[in-house]
A and B are shown apart, each in its own frame.
Chain A
Amino acid sequence: MTPETAFQTLLGAPLAAAAISALFFRRSRWGAPVLSLAAAGTILWVSLQLLLGWDGHEALHTSYTWFKLGDLEFKLGFLLDKTAAPMLFTVSFVAFFIHVFSIGYMDDDSARGRFFAGLSIFMFSIVGIVLADNLFMTFVFWELVGFSSYMLIAHYFDKDYAAAASKKAFITNRVGDLGFLLGILWCWSHYGTVDFQVLENAKLAGSGVPAAIGLLLMCGFIGKSAQFPLHVWLTDAMAGPTPVSALIHAATMVAAGVYLMVKLSVCGLFAPVALDVMLWSGAGLAALGGLCALGQTDIKKSLAYSTLSHLGFMGAAVGLGRPEIALLHMSMHAFFKATLFLCSGSVIHACHHEQDMTRMGGLLKKMPVTAAAFAISGLSICAFPYFAGWYSKDMILTAALVNGNYGAFALLAIAALGTALYIGRMFRLVFLGNANSDEAGHAHESNAWMTIPLVVLGIVFSLGAGWFLSGTHAAEGARMNGLFPASATEFLAHGYHELHHTAAEKGLVLPMLALGVIILVVGLGATLSFYKKTPGDDALRVKSPKLYAALERRWFDNAYDWYIANVQQRVAEFYAFFVDKFLLEGLTIRAIFAGIPAVGGILVRRFLFTGRMSDYAAFFVFGVILYFLYSVVL
């Protein structure tokens, strides 16, 4: 298969599946799921073929002219390079298993056609983002993922909160996308190109780059990846079905923002100021999200805060000038966070759509596979040594230390502690102790559609996705490296080993390992014992209601509410009543509308509107003669 055919198949298969499902299989029970799964399978198969057949060095690139305006040429192109390869593998792999899981999870849903068509259109868009070779094309697919995210959050659109959440996600993303679009246009006017390869080959220094371009492009990341201060939509987005939360709002779409930042960072588009902004907002959000996760009893919302926290980690890694590590964490995060969400989905499904963790409990024996997958991916997210998450998360902390950013290091360490705390709490509340409700009491293990993805993503990949980093580089000519295609690991391994080497020179490897283990033991030990005391309720809520309320409180939502109600609403009212109603409608339009007939009305009515056809014809002829005089004689 030539790369060109492969690219076309990667985009064509999900689009075709979405179109056919949406047009013909809206009511069908099996048509849309099977088509959608087949499309996801095709994507996985083709991308594996593509990655295994690629040497990992020379970028694969095809480009078509989309349209031309004079000298201006818009191109559609596909680019598989060192950054796109790991992203492509992660996205296609995780997405395929989430599709499998969805078939089990959505078995009792009446709108499967809409759901699976949405998943397929999402796959089309995300693959488009991964393979886009310029920023304009990225933007097009960027908007498309926004659209599919909106559709899937609103899957239960008859529920008010889901409809509101989808609107919120869409509008919040618009705010970020406006900045992103301005950034793209500025980049274009400043450098004359938005092509990733051209930008990368231009070897922009980083310090001579206008900071504003980087900051504006960052807005896209802030919106899509739910970074501070636009992070408010992600927790509400959990109103969508759980597989959607796993795929879009944890593993892939929100990570697409990080992916874009990595790509632009490799191109050198960020000035130091922009990197600093990203570092501090990322580290801050990591700590904030890690702690806020403790203030939620809804299992999915708690995990959403965890996602925020980890997106903060990735942003911080980009800000530290380590895009490789950011991409590595994005990839590892996709595996374990998808698993965590799928576990929560499995639990929610078993407990008949009960999402409150305090009403669960004791599911360890009833749902052993889910519990095992949760435990392993939980240890992975807490950076248990040699689990997938350890390789990336530990390295981000190390990078902060190596760069000498002690403040950021402290924030990230707090975030790491927060991770251990909320994972311990979640495991304690959901799987240990006794069942706290009838639903939890009658729960049983999910079917194979749901457990197989849990085993593959949770037990295999959350554990071993990072093992390719333990060895040195891949053996010459090897097609696989650990669990990854060898070509996809080049970029990640290079950055990892470089940072590891620097850390080893400074003697930081063992202390970091020790610190990680201490955080892990303290965090897990504390929560496992602390949350034992109050079955049926949240221990923190019982012990310290004020602290819990502070964590639960939605500071930014309230601030936005206040701003919209008291500032924007007032301005809008001013425009609506004074400018629009009074100035435009009253003084301008009505005055003219009433004035002209008053002056010329009698003349017009008497001589023009006679109603006789021949008069109208005479006016017409008169006009033609006038035109003739104007054009020929004059």
Chain B
Amino acid sequence: MSDCLFYIFAAIAVAAATLMVASRNTVTGALGMIAALVAVAADYFLLDAPFLGVLQVLVYAGAVMVLFLFIIMLLDVDKTSHERRSAAKWVLGAIVLGATVGAITYALTHADLGAAKAAAEAAPATGTEALAAPLPHGTTAKVFGYGLFTKYMLPLQLAGFLLLSAMIGVVTLVRRPKE
């Protein structure tokens, strides 16, 4: 069942992403992007990370993409710029796409994906090393919060600070200069 779901969502994600890249209309592209992000979020559920899936839908597909749409409509981009479609451009795109997929496939098929897992299981952490050791995997938000407020306390604080500075930066950037 879940295998079936994976293939469905993967197909949706790839199709939506292609639509986003290929569509001439930016609003259509943004809607495609939302669909791709939701499909990826569904994949998170399949990967036992429901919290991240929810987060992805709320933050990415929700807030971030709404911001994109808002800006697209604010600037009315499609009227001021029409993309010309030249054959050379799409040849380039196809080459890049092919090369990247080829490279990634090559890397994936030649890598020993079980090695890291074996190493992690071979040396279980004890005592003072426990904090530096990998946190055990869990699906609940509680496990998530525990990790954030213990091992990743400092990065969490820094992320908060980053959000604040981004907010200040945005306010400064979009303020109209005094005439």
B47 at interface by CB-CB < 8 Å: no
B64 to chain A, nearest CB (A): 22
Q: Give the docked Cα–Cα distance between A560 and B126 (Å).
A: 73
Chain A residues, CB < 8 A from B118: none
The one of B92, B100, B107 in contact with A632, judged by C-beta atoms closer than 8 angstroms, is: B107
Q: Give the docked Cα–Cα distance between A618 and B99 (Å).
A: 12
Q: Give the docked Cα–Cα distance between A625 and B107 (Å).
A: 12
- For chain B residues 20-53, which have a beta carbon within 8 Å of chain A? none
Chain B residues, CB < 8 A from A632: 103, 106-107, 110
B96 at interface by CB-CB < 8 Å: yes
Size of the A side of the interface (Cβ < 8 Å), in residues, is: 6
Q: Are B106 and A618 in contact (CB under 8 A)?
A: no
Q: Are A621 and B96 in contact (CB under 8 A)?
A: yes
A631 to chain B, nearest CB (A): 10
1/0 per position for A614-634, CB-CB distance to B under 8 A? 000010010001001000110
Q: Are B92 and A625 in contact (CB under 8 A)?
A: no
Chain B residues, CB < 8 A from A633: 106
Chain A residues, CB < 8 A from B103: 625, 628, 632
- For chain B residues 98-120, which have a beta carbon within 8 Å of chain A? 99-100, 103, 106-107, 110
Q: Are B107 and A618 in contact (CB under 8 A)?
A: no
Interface majority SS (helix, strand, loop, mixed), chain A: helix
Q: Give the docked Cα–Cα distance between A632 and B110 (Å).
A: 10
Q: Give the docked Cα–Cα distance between A628 and B102 (Å).
A: 11
Q: What is the chain A residue whose CB lies nearest that of B104?
A: A628
Chain B residues, CB < 8 A from A621: 96, 100
Chain B residues, CB < 8 A from A625: 99-100, 103
Chain A residues, CB < 8 A from B100: 621, 625
B43 to chain A, nearest CB (A): 25
Q: Give the docked Cα–Cα distance between A621 and B96 (Å).
A: 8
Q: Give the docked Cα–Cα distance between A226 and B96 (Å).
A: 74
Q: What is the chain B residue whose CB lies nearest that of A633?
A: B106
Chain A residues, CB < 8 A from B99: 625
Q: Give the docked Cα–Cα distance between A618 and B89 (Å).
A: 11
B42 to chain A, nearest CB (A): 29
Q: Give the docked Cα–Cα distance between A621 and B100 (Å).
A: 9
Q: Give the docked Cα–Cα distance between A621 and B95 (Å).
A: 11
A495 to chain B, nearest CB (A): 59
Q: What is the chain A residue whose CB lies nearest that of B96?
A: A621
Chain B residues, CB < 8 A from A618: 92, 96
Q: What is the chain A residue whose CB lies nearest that of B89?
A: A614
Q: Give the docked Cα–Cα distance between A430 and B130 (Å).
A: 83
Q: What is the chain B residue whose CB lies nearest that of A628?
A: B103
Q: Give the docked Cα–Cα distance between A621 and B98 (Å).
A: 13
Q: Give the docked Cα–Cα distance between A604 and B112 (Å).
A: 42
1/0 per position for B73-99, CB-CB distance to A under 8 A? 000000000000000000010001001
Chain A residues, CB < 8 A from B96: 618, 621
1/0 per position for A224-238, CB-CB distance to B under 8 A? 000000000000000
Task: Pick 12 A–B contacts, CB within 8 A, sort by A.
Answer: A618-B92, A618-B96, A621-B96, A621-B100, A625-B99, A625-B100, A625-B103, A628-B107, A632-B106, A632-B107, A632-B110, A633-B106
Given A621-B100, A625-B103, 6 more pairs with CB closer than 8 A: A618-B92, A618-B96, A628-B107, A632-B103, A632-B106, A632-B110
The 4 closest A-B pairs by CB, nearest first: A628-B103, A625-B99, A621-B96, A632-B107
